[in-house]
Amino acid sequence: MVTTSAAPNRRIWTNWAGTATASPAEVVSPTTVDELQRAVARASAAGMRVKALGSGHSFTPIAVTDGLAVAPDRLRGIVSADPATGLVTVLAGTTLHELGPALWQLGLAMPNLGDVDVQTVAGALATGTHGTGARLGGLATQVAGMQLVLADGTLYDCPADDLPAAAIGLGALGVVATVTLRCVPAFLLHAEESPAALDEVLRDAAAFDAFTRAHDHAEFYWFPHTRRALTKRNDRTAAPERPLPRLRRAIDDELLSNTVFGWTNRLCAARPSLIPRVNAVAARTLGAREFVDRSYRVFAAPRRVVFRETEYALPRHAVREAITELEAWLRRSGERVAFPVEVRVAAADDVWLSTAYGRDSGYVAVHQYVGSDHTRWFDAAESILRGLGGRPHWGKMHSLTADDLAGLHPRFDDFRAVRDRLDPGRTFTNPYLRRVLGD
Ligand SMILES: Cc1cc2nc3c(=O)[nH]c(=O)nc-3n(C[C@H](O)[C@H](O)[C@H](O)COP(=O)(O)OP(=O)(O)OC[C@H]3O[C@@H](n4cnc5c(N)ncnc54)[C@H](O)[C@@H]3O)c2cc1C
């Protein structure tokens, strides 16, 4: 979000989690691609850096700029759609929240989504946003075309050779103007959520594999200091729509997942010694539920309790060891963590900077409530997950540098070569990109 601060003519931008702030020299909200081109060309000719803002839902300072900030709010909507091929071109600032119903009207859908939908299409793609599904890739695997505004204002229609770089471009190659997505026919999901013993899903690598492969979209939340999990399984269905009654949805998604969850987190932040008992109660009392609804309504839910997060993608077979090591560290250290650890999966893909590049992946995401210090927990998790060959999510907190990341991403240098070609003057850089990509 961008707000005007008390100081005259200065605008302060803060991300959702409050982990990054910026004071851009200028903010523009272009309404057309042409206006966007002119704004970028003018700023770079004046020697300013340029950064496009999304919805501010990255935890890293990836969107920070002291130069020109390009706000996404007026570059939104579907430009063209072909229901026969499923190819849909959207303006970069379109939010996933508005895209779901708009695609539904066309008889189309995104095959997979993350767990919130407030992100812009370009912002979600830039950091490698993913959902869960053993046979499905992250959002970037759905990209069929992209137009970038380069530093001199040129509109660059990415050729096929550049798409594997541009689909997860970290905002480092140019400002995305439009994205063409490969959509699928609209579908309903049969959603089942239920508490389970952790061993049911993670007894051994085969149990985890069976759990994730048995469903189109499977994930679980592990409650630290317990051996309990909440499982979520979503499968495509031809059954008729049977959404949750409005009241039940409000109770589950607003009251329990946000309001009560917020209270318990505040209580736990004040009295950490209560956490093991609170988590044990939460893990057993979170109710089972089952419904059938439109895919985009099932994938995403509101998240109003502010938290911090780090997430690593591991070779899928290493997930069990990761949870075992995290559990052992919590026992050894005495650290108390109330927020559940989220485990998801994705299929291997060929997007150069994808965390799932070339390998079937399991994601382990570690969170901490905004009112509690996350440092020790995140440092420990990073050390454990890195030790298992993990690659950090580009939009979630981590401490890795270009030298570390070059060893984790086989096409890292190829990406940097595309960056050298498309942004030789580094108009689109910022301190985060200097850290993770180099100068
Ligand atoms: C509550 C919450 C839930 C989340 N859930 C998930 C999840 O389920 N799965 C997952 O993988 N991640 C998840 N994330 C992370 C989130 O999806 C990513 O960080 C995503 O990048 C945020 O999108 P945004 O629109 O907010 O982009 P921002 O965070 O605002 O920006 C991200 C990057 O995109 C660039 N960018 C934005 N627009 C453009 C453009 N037009 N051209 C070029 N670059 C551009 C920015 O410059 C920046 O570099 C979650 C984050 C939060 C806070």
Residue 277 CA to residue 263 CA, distance in Å, equals 15
Closest residue by CA, ligand 1 atom 44: 171
**Does ligand 1 come within 6 angstroms of the Cβ of 322?**
no
Going from the Cα of 92 to the center of ligand 1, the distance in angstroms, rounded, reads: 12
Across the strands, what pairs with 324? none
DSSP at 107? T
pLDDT string in tens for the chain (439-residue length)? 554 444 445 578 999 999 999 999 999 999 999 999 999 999 999 999 999 999 999 999 999 999 999 999 999 999 999 999 999 999 999 999 999 999 999 999 999 999 999 999 999 999 999 999 999 999 999 999 999 999 999 999 999 999 999 999 999 999 999 999 999 999 999 999 999 999 999 998 899 999 999 999 999 999 999 999 999 999 999 999 999 887 777 777 776 777 778 888 888 888 888 888 888 888 877 778 999 999 999 999 888 889 999 999 999 999 999 999 999 999 999 999 999 999 999 999 999 999 999 999 999 999 999 889 999 999 999 999 999 999 999 999 999 999 999 999 999 999 999 999 999 999 999 999 999 999 9
176 lines ligand 1 (CB under 6 A): yes
Distance 130 CA to ligand 1 centre (A): 11
Cα 327 from Cα 333, distance rounded (Å): 10
Ligand 1 pocket: which of 1, 127, 158, 306 to mutate (most atoms <8 Å of CB)?
A: 127
Per-residue DSSP letters for 306-375? -EEEEEEEEEGGGHHHHHHHHHHHHHHH-----SPEEEEEE--B--TT-TTBTS-EEEEEEEEETTS--H
CB 439 within 8 A of CB 426: yes
17 contacts: CB under 8 Å, gap ≥ 6: 59, 306, 307, 308, 309, 370
DSSP state for residue 254 in the 8-state scheme? I
Whole-structure pTM value:
0.96
CA–centroid distance, 87 to ligand 1, in Å, is 22
Distance CA(147)–CA(158), nearest Å, equals 6
Q: What is the DSSP letter of 211?
A: H
Is 286 a pocket residue for ligand 1 (Cβ < 6 Å)?
Answer: no
- Residue 302, pLDDT score: 84
Question: From the centroid of its chain, how far is CA 189?
Answer: 21
Q: Which atom of ligand 1 is nearest to the CA of 51?
A: 47
DSSP secondary-structure letter at 47? T
Where do the structural domains in the chain lie, given as residue ranges? 1-186+400-439, 188-392
Q: How many CA atoms lie within 13 A of 13 on its CB side?
A: 29
73 within ligand 1 shell (Cβ under 6 A): no
* 303 C-beta closer than 6 A to ligand 1: yes
Please give the radius of gyration of the chain, using alpha carbons only, rounded to the nearest integer. Answer: 21
Q: Give the closest residue (by CA) to ligand 1 atom 53.
A: 57
DSSP string, 24-37: -SEEE--SSHHHHH
Q: 131 C-alpha vs ligand 1 centroid, how far in Å?
A: 13
Question: What single-letter DSSP state applies at residue 120?
Answer: B
- Given this model, what pLDDT does residue 104 score? 98
Under a CB-based contact definition with an 8 Å cutoff, are residues 43 and 151 in contact?
no
At residue 6, the pLDDT reads: 40
| The amino acid at 238 | A
Q: Which residues contact 188 (CB under 8 A, 6 or more apart)?
A: 236, 237, 238, 239, 241, 292, 293, 294, 295
pLDDT of res. 8 = 45
55 ligand 1 Cβ < 6 A: yes
The Cα 108–Cα 87 span in angstroms is 9
What is the pLDDT, as a whole number, of residue 412? 98
> Hey, which CATH number is domain 1-186+400-439, 2.40.30.30, 3.30.465.10, 3.40.50.11890, 2.60.40.1120?
3.30.465.10
Q: What is the structure's pLDDT at 255?
A: 67
pLDDT value, residue 361: 98
Amino acid letter for position 301: A
CB 224 less than 6 A from any atom of ligand 1: no
Q: Taking the alpha carbons of 8, 10, 15, 20 in that order, is the dihedral positive or negative? A: negative
Identify the architecture of domain 188-392 in CATH: 3-Layer(aba) Sandwich (3.40)
385 CB near ligand 1 (under 6 Å) = no
Angle at 62 between CA 61 and CA 66, to 5 degrees: 75
Protein residue with least CA distance to atom 11, ligand 1: 129
**Of the residues 28, 31, 98, 116, which should be mutated to test ligand 1's pocket, given the most ligand atoms within 8 Å of the CB?**
116
DSSP bridge pairs for 1: none
Question: Ligand 1 pocket check: which of 35, 36, 53, 57 to mutate, most ligand atoms within 8 Å of Cβ?
Answer: 57
